[in-house]
Every structure is written in structure tokens, then in C-alpha cells.
Chain A
Amino acid sequence: MELLGKTNIDFIGKRNISFVVSSIIAMLGIVGIIQISRGAANMGIDFSGGTSMQLKFAKPIALADARTALHKHGIARVDLQEIKEGNKLLVKIDKNAGATVGKSADAVKTSFTSEFAGNPFVVESTTEIGPSIGDKLRKDTLVAVVISLLGIILYIAWRFDLKFGIGAIVATIHDCLAMFAVFYLFNKEVNLLFITAVLTIAGYSLTDTVVVFDRIRENLHKNLKGAMQTIFNKSINEVLSRTIVTSFTVFLAAASLFLFGGEVIHDFSFALLIGVLVGTYSSVFVASPIVVLLENRALAKHGDKA
């Protein structure tokens, strides 16, 4: 079976549109990262410090009631979220609201026990993170992201050349920013698992880029006649079906995680889904056009001298 026959789409020619779209996405991502680091977006407690609990009640519970109950017991700054399936409630408490590690969780338990006597609950999970750990994790994560990106740049620059390396890394950063942008827009929690997803995609999204680059290099070596743009377009079209199929199989796996993997990794698999989609887009519409731009510029310089 073949999904796509021979295609002849002018991908590079549409670079103006794709650059505008990608710039907007990237800007949103940057805004998201700034907001997150300012603490203005939804940052997970693993980075900010604080307490998060997952409770399972016997009967459905209204968010408003839960909030009132907590306020009554002096827990003011609290973030509540309902998980529809199984009367579950997620409680997130800012590090500044409770005193020390160990106290907030107890306070939440006490207030719910006394306010909802007729609706018993069990604590399914508790996570309490002191501020010092949060700081350490933030630093470690930053180092991890920088080292990963550096490693990738070096590898691609070594395997191809610098222009391809730049194209690949811009596409990779674009993918990461897009994930941040989506999470920021949907106000989803940015936590350690999200960063894990981002780094995974940073590595994986290169698969498609490498496939396209390999073909471009092969065709450049064949000394095909025609402009850079034609060779690039031809190459992308030649490998288009495998770009789509490889992403599709991973998309299938990520989608089953998203739909059936349970609430703990729901956001994580959502991030992976976004990443796979954006990664496919960027290998065609971001990485290759950038290399064309760089190649053309190099050619023009060469031409001036000649």
C-alpha cells in the first residue's frame, strides 16, 4: 500500500508562510518560558516547591465546596483540579501557603475529614517538595537542556556540515518552543515529566530531519542540475512518505498512551503528541528552508567574489 504517490510540492517556496507561522509559535514559546520562569504560568511543584496531593473520594465532590473547606482551615492559595473519572481531586498548594514540608498535606487531610464527614476519601499520592530541591531541579534541568542541545549540534555539525547543523538545531529549538507554547496556551502544568517529554522530542524530532538531510546530501552529491531550491524540493518530496509514516507510527504509540495511559502520564503523552506533530512539520518547513537560505547566501558570496 502506498499513501502518497509521487508528489511534487513546492515546500521551500512556501517558506515565507512557514517562517511566519513558526516565528509566531516560537515567540509564544518564549513568552511561555518567560512566564513560567517568572512564576506567572502553571509551574509544577517539582520546580517551584510546594505540595500536591491526589485524593479519591467516595462520592462526587464540587470544586467550589472543596475550596471553601480548605479556605475555612486557612489554606488560601490552593489550586484545585478535578479528574472526572473516579471522583478524584488534585490539590496543589503553593510553597508559600504552608509552613514546612509535611504540614500542608496534613492540613488538607484534616480539613477534608472534618468538612466532608459523609464523603470519605483516600490519599492516592502526595508530593511535597522543599524550595531548595526545586531550585536544584531547575538548575539541573537547565544544564540538561543545554547539554542535550549542544550534543545534538555537535553531532549534526560533525555528520553533515555547519549549515545543516544550524538548520537542525533551529528546527529542534523550534519544536521545543512549540511544546512550551502549547502548554502555556492550554495552561497545562510544566513539570519534570514535561521537560522529559521535551528532551525526548528534541532527540526524536531529529529523526525526520536527518532523513530529509540525508536525501538532500545524496542529491547534492549526484550533482543534479538546477537551483538549490529545486534539489531541496525534490529531496523532500522523495522522502515525504517515510517522513509521514515514521512519525505516524510513533504518533500511534503516543496516542494510545494519551488515551489509555491514565492520568499520571496524560499531560506527558499530550506533550509527546504535540512534539511528534511539530517535529514532522519542522523537518520539512523549518530545517530545510533554513539550510536553503544559508546555502544560497554562501553561493551568492561565492558569486560576488568570482
Chain B
Amino acid sequence: MPKGIGWRIGLIGIFILLSFLYLTPTLVSKLPSWWSGLLPKDKIHLGLDLQGGTYLVLEVDTQKAVEGTLDIVATDLEDTLTSKNLHFKRIGRTGSDRVTLVLYEKGTADTAQKLLKDKYPTYEQSPLHDEGGFVALDLLMNEKDVQDRKDKAVQQALETIRNRIDQFGVSEPVIQREGIDHIVVQLPGIKDPQRAIELIGRTARLEFKMVREDTQPSAATIPDDAEILKEKSVDPATGAVSEMPFVVQKKSLITGDLLTDAQVRIDSQFNQPYVAIEFNSLGAKLFDQVTAANVGKRFAIVLDNNVYSAPVIRERISGGSAQISGNFTEKTASDLAIVLRAGALPAPVKIIQNVTVGPSLGQDSINKGLMAGLIGVLLVVAFMTIYYKLSGIVANMGMVLNVIYLMGALAALGATLTLPGIAAIVLLIGMSVDSNVLIFERIREELKLGKSPKAALDAGYDKAFLTIVDSHITTLITAAVLFQFGTGPVKGFAVSLSLGVIINLFTSLIGTKVTFDLFLNKGTVKKLSI
């Protein structure tokens, strides 16, 4: 017995065993109870194109997060300067990177400079300059802080979106950051993609603002510190959308980050759903103060710059609970409750890519992919058997081995199988016999030179070896590049292809060789069936 037959067969056997071990979670719908501990649990996942689902790429408008922070700084400065009796003409954000303070006199400006240095040590200050006869001063966020803020905004957005999806209830969602400001969301098998998309994409910035009764929405000019927001309502009978404008105070009294809970309730009188919200202690205190000070006036409940309702404050409300009503259906109310519970996004997000595949198309793709694979296998098997007879059958066994190993490897890596991935496997069926074709043709040549079957076999394998390695490596180069740059389905293709090419090297150079060695070793073989 030539050296190495034993360990080669052993290796092949071990790999087959391992493949089936790793494939078990994929093939068995329910693992038995003793299947635990170190035994593999990962299975081959189906890509969204096969099981149906939604793939989203969101872009976080990080600039808005920076602006939001600067707005908060501006508001805070207003309060601080007021409380210190420092008079100012205007404090507000200008552009996207600075807060400008316009003061009446140089004296206050000097005090303000010191104050700013203490309060915001990481910010840069511009020298005092003249602005229309007043003293102006800019407070700039430094570049590193800007980057930090942007980075944090994406991180927060990701957490918030994860929260929302968890509460919405999707099994095995994938939510991950990609690049600087992109978030990729994968929702496999989702039934109502449109609803999920709306839920994810909403900023959900909740604000309570006082309605300005002194100005009509139709007025030509509105005060600097006020703005016009609209309440949209849909007539349930006709579906017509009507808009009602409100003049509200720009500055919000209370915001959504002071909430602890939001729940859907049904109004017993009108049988209409509404969202009940609970404030935390700070929010409750603020709400108590605001309602106490403004009895008889109206405040607007604003979500993402849309007015939901503008009730009149009838009495002081303490206890920290309030309700948001509007033209809700049960679904829209429950979605609103989810986004309020999960919190607002730190910055608006934009959906820049949305790929949704329905479950029926996915199943169709699986069936057709399998069908194509099966027919491909049959054609190749038939051809190889006719063309190379018994040797062809050995090559076919190598091909089957190849497919088993590949599936096992995919399962072991917990890889995702996509339709192009299936295509890669089918293509590999054709490629995997190629190595054997090269070897067989070489053996035929050697036999024609009059060599014995054994010598011809060894020469065939030896001389074809480099050619096979070369041809595999060139395919591997492109597969690796595809893996690096591809997304979704293309990545699935690259994974199957690269694994398949590597495995193919093993099966063609070791797997089929050992079979021949076994038969030829008996010494009875006078003629190779090739």
C-alpha cells in the first residue's frame, strides 16, 4: 500500500463528517435536546433575496446633529446670561458651526468672554467684532468635537433604530454601521415593509410649544421668536388632507427626551386610540410649572415639526402624564408609541437604498435555483460518465464531495446563501470537474506514450498540478475582490465561489487521486477506464 492512502482517506472521511455535523442545524428543523455544548448551532442563513425581506441603507444627516447641539448651547447661553443680568440683543446659531452672541456694549462682552471660557472650555472664541454697531462674538465648536458629535449621532441613531425594531418585533434583524454615516438595516421575512420603513425613518422629535395667540397665521410677518407649524388632518370619509396652520413659539417648553413611557390607550367615549405619555421627574416638574403658568392658553404638541394637537390648558396638570390625540388608527398610534418609547433620533435619517423582496419571489428563486442546480449536476454527471467512463464517475464523486464540503463550510461560517450564491454553486459543479478533465487528458496522453496505468496516473496528476493551481488562483483573485467590494447578493456569490475554489483544489488533488490509488494498488488493474 503506497504511503499516505490511509491518512488521505481519513482526512476525506473527517471532512465529510464535519460537513454533516455543521450542516445538521441547517437540515434538521428542530435540534434534539442533547444537541448542546460544543456542537455547532450556526446554520446557513438564507439571504433576503431568498427568504424575502427588506434591506435598507440609511444616511444620518450628521450635520443636523451638530446644529442641534449648537442650538442647545444657544438656548443655554440665553438662560445663563439672563440669569446673570447680562443684556444681549441676540444669541443664536449662525451657519452650521458657530453660535453668535450680539451684545449691546463692550463691558458685557468682556464678561461674556470669561463666562464662555469657563462654561465651554473646549470651544473656540472669535475675537470681538462689530456687527451693525453692536459687539458680536462667535463661539465655535472645534473640528474634533464636531467629528465626535457626528460619530456619536450615528451611534445613537443606530441604538435608537435597534430599539424601535426590537419593539416592532422582527426576528433576526441585522442593524449595523457602514462607513462614516451610513446604517444598514436588514429585516428578514418582514410582512409590512412600508410600515417598518416609516417607523425606522422617523426622527420622532416630540416638542411641546406654546401657541402664540397674539399673531394670526395669516399675518404678513411673524415675530422672530415664533414660527408657523401645520396640523394635518385627513377626512376619514373622503381621504382629503387639510392643513391648519398655527403660530407657535420657536422655543420648546418640554421635549421628548423627558419621557419615560408611551402607551396606546383607547378613548372610551369616541372609541378612538390615543397615546398616553409619562414624564420623568424633571419633565413632570416642568409640565406642572408650564401648565400652572398658562391656564386658559393653548399649547401645541409637535412631532417632527407637525402639530398633532393644540389643546387648551384647562387646569394645572401635575403628576407627569399627558396624552397625544390625533387622527390615529390603532396601527399608527402603536407606531407612535414605539418611536416615543425608543426615543428620538439625534438627527434626521434619509433612506438611500431600499431593496424589498416579497416572500413569494424568494421561494420561487429557491425552487428555480435548486432546479437549475439539479439539472446542471445531471448534465455534467452524464457527460463525464460518457466521456471518461469509470474515471468520469470518480470525477463525479469528487464533484459531489465538493458540494457537500462547500455546504458544510458555508454552515460552519454561518454564511448567508443568496441566489447568486446558489448560482456560484451551480457554476462550481461545472468547474469542479475541470481539474479532473485536465488530469484525465494528461493521463490519456501518458497512456498513449505507452506508460503503465499507475505511471500514467502519477504523471497525470503531477504534470497537471501546477496548471490546476494556476487556474484556481486566478479565479480566487477575482472572487476575493468581489467579496471585498460586493454587498448583499454579490457578496454571497463571492463567498460561495471562493470557498468552492479552495475546496475544489482539495477534492481534485487529494479526493479523486486516492480513489484511483486504491483501485490501482490492488495490482489487478491492467487498463484504466478513461
Contacts and interface: CB of A to CB of B under 8 A. Distances in A.
Interface of A: 1-3, 54, 56, 100-102, 106, 122-130, 132-133, 140-141, 143-144, 147-148, 151-152, 155-156, 159, 192-193, 196, 199-200, 202-204, 206-207, 210-211, 214, 238-239, 241-242, 245-246, 248-257, 259-262, 264-265, 268-269, 272
Nearest to B463: A218
Contacts of A159: 470
Given A242-B438, A249-B384, A250-B431, A214 B372 contact: no
B474 A207 contact: yes
Given A102-B197, A252-B379, A261-B369, A151 B360 contact: no
Best-buried of A101, A123, A143, A255 by chain B (most CB within 10 Å): A101
A125 B356 contact: yes
A114 to B, nearest CB: 12
Nearest to A207: B471
B350 interface: yes
A253 B467 contact: no
B395 to A, nearest CB: 10
Interface residues of B, number: 72
Given A211-B467, A256-B426, 20 more contacts: A125-B357, A128-B351, A128-B355, A152-B477, A155-B477, A203-B474, A203-B477, A203-B478, A210-B470, A214-B470, A241-B441, A245-B387, A246-B434, A249-B380, A252-B383, A253-B376, A256-B376, A261-B423, A264-B361, A265-B419
Contact of A126 (B356, B423, B470): B356
Interface in B226-240: none
Contacts of B242: none
Interface string B25-60: 000000000000000000000000100000001010
Contact of A268 (B59, B383, B423, B444): B423
A200 to B, nearest CB: 6
Contacts of B59: 130, 132
A255 B431 CA distance: 13
B495 interface: no
B482 interface: yes
12 contacts: A1-B389, A101-B350, A101-B352, A125-B358, A129-B353, A196-B493, A203-B474, A203-B478, A211-B471, A249-B380, A253-B376, A256-B373
A210 B471 contact: yes
Contact of B438 (A128, A129, A246): A246
B6 interface: no
Contact of B372 (A151, A202, A210, A260): A260
Contact of A256 (B379, B445, B482): B379
B460 to A, nearest CB: 11
Interface in B183-207: 193-194, 197, 201
Given A193-B420, A253-B429, A101 B482 contact: no
Interface stretch (B324-332, B408-416, B483-491): B483-491
B364 to A, nearest CB: 6
A223 to B, nearest CB: 18
B478 A200 contact: yes
B474 A156 contact: yes
Contacts of A54: 361
Contacts of B364: 262
Nearest to A137: B487
Contact of B57 (A133, A210, A262): A133
A261 B372 contact: yes
A133 B352 CA distance: 7
A151 B485 CA distance: 15
Given A203-B477, A269-B423, A1 B57 contact: no
A203 B430 contact: no
A249 B430 contact: yes
Interface in B457-511: 466-467, 470-471, 473-479, 481-482, 484-486, 489-490, 493-494, 497
A193 B490 contact: yes
Contacts of B493: 196, 200
B420 A196 contact: yes
Contacts of B352: 101, 129-130, 132-133
Contact of A199 (B375, B433, B482): B482
B475 A262 contact: no
Interface of B: 49, 57, 59, 193-194, 197, 201, 350-358, 360-361, 364-365, 368-369, 371-373, 375-376, 379-380, 383-384, 386-389, 419-420, 423, 426-431, 433-434, 437-438, 441, 444-445, 466-467, 470-471, 473-479, 481-482, 484-486, 489-490, 493-494, 497
Contact of B355 (A127, A245, A255, A261): A127
Contact of A206 (B354, B373, B386, B474): B474
A143 B427 contact: no
**A-B interface, 8 closest residue pairs, ranked by CB to CB distance from nearest:** A253-B430, A130-B352, A262-B368, A203-B478, A250-B430, A207-B471, A203-B475, A256-B376
Nearest to B359: A124
A251 B426 CA distance: 11
Given A1-B386, A254-B427, A196 B481 contact: no
Given A206-B474, A256-B375, A196 B486 contact: yes
B387 A253 contact: no
A254 B475 CA distance: 16
A176 B3 CA distance: 45
Nearest to A241: B441
B355 A126 contact: yes
A130 B471 CA distance: 39
Contacts of B386: 1
A101 B194 CA distance: 12
Contact of A264 (B354, B365, B388, B490): B365
A268 B388 CA distance: 30
A178 to B, nearest CB: 17
B271 to A, nearest CB: 29
B471 A252 contact: no
